[in-house]
Amino acid sequence: MFPLRVTDVKINIKSKRLIGPINLEIEQNGISILIGANGSGKTTLLEALHGLRKLSAGKIEWTISRNLAAAEQAFVFQSPIMLRRTVAENLAFPLKVRRLSKSNVTAEVKIWAKKIGLEEKIKHQAVILSGGEMQAIAVARALITKPKMLFLDEPTASLDGANKKAIEDILISASSNGTKILMSTHDLGQAKRLAKDIIFLHNGIVEAHCSKEEFLSEPPSKAAKQFLAGDIVL
């Protein structure tokens, strides 16, 4: 089943093509990893799928209604965006927007603070924490509503190994509990650890979309082979 279908999508700014045409069918389960060289269009594509970019052409379709799609997806940016409030208030914010009861909000905040190892800092101001801690809050805040789809734009790019593993563990758990994850990364090792399938983007075009095993064993294009080899991709 494909909860998300992309048909002939293009995004231009004035006369400059950013991405497209792109055709994709995103499966309902597992973690799909979007890879490609810097400037290949990964962020633009993720933003388009989440509705943050206006399409120049084509369409994006959900198998659920448009209203539900908006409510049941979340996005985590590369640089964490924190409210100038406590850890608890950051985690609680999306639940309060959905008008959950105070008792339910408190319970969920405690659960997620523990998951990300911040139960002892739950009353600390989020903006004074480390980059890794803030990114963990951003991921937890996105997942606390149990979205059906989660988009992440290189969420561990600036993190050390321990913080990266902590977030990867959270994503693996969320995926196993039914959240579909579409995530961009420049880290090939991370793609190998997490991906069910890989989408390879080159110069704004999807050059490959296949299983991780197929992509790694038989890269489908010259650019893909260069990327896997660690060479500069032009």
CB 58 within 8 A of CB 10: yes
From its phi and psi, is residue 14 left (phi > 0), alpha (psi between -120 and 50) or beta?
left
Q: What is the pLDDT of residue 208?
A: 94
Q: Could you give the strand order of the β-sheet that contains 16-26, starting from the edge strand earlier in sequence?
A: 16-26, 4-13, 57-62
Give the chain's end-to-end CA distance (angstroms, integer).
35
CATH fold, domain 1-72+147-234, is Rossmann fold (3.40.50)
User: Backbone phi, then psi, for 121, in 5-degree steps?
Assistant: -115, 20
Q: What is the pLDDT of residue 62?
A: 87
Q: What is the pLDDT of residue 16?
A: 92
Q: What is the pLDDT of residue 72?
A: 87
The first and second tokens of residue 16, run together, are: 């400059």
Helix axes 102-115, 87-97, angle to 10 degrees: 130
Q: Which residue from 51, 50, 62, 58 is spatially nearest to 11, judged by alpha carbons? A: 58
**Whole-number CA gyration radius for the chain:** 18
Strand, coil or helix: 81: coil
> pLDDT 10s per residue in the chain (234 long)?
678 899 999 999 988 999 999 999 999 899 999 999 989 999 999 999 999 999 999 999 987 666 667 778 999 999 989 999 999 999 999 999 999 999 999 999 999 999 999 999 999 999 999 999 999 999 999 999 999 999 999 999 888 898 899 999 999 999 999 999 999 998 999 999 999 999 999 999 999 999 999 999 999 889 999 999 988 888
* Beta strand residue intervals within the chain, DSSP E: 4-13, 16-26, 31-35, 57-62, 73-76, 149-153, 180-184, 197-202, 205-211
Helix then strand count (H, E) for the chain reads 9, 9
Query: What's the CA angle centered on 153, arms 151 and 155, to 5 degrees?
Result: 105
The first and second tokens of residue 204, run together, are: 């704004």
Domain chopping of the chain, boundaries: 1-72+147-234, 81-146
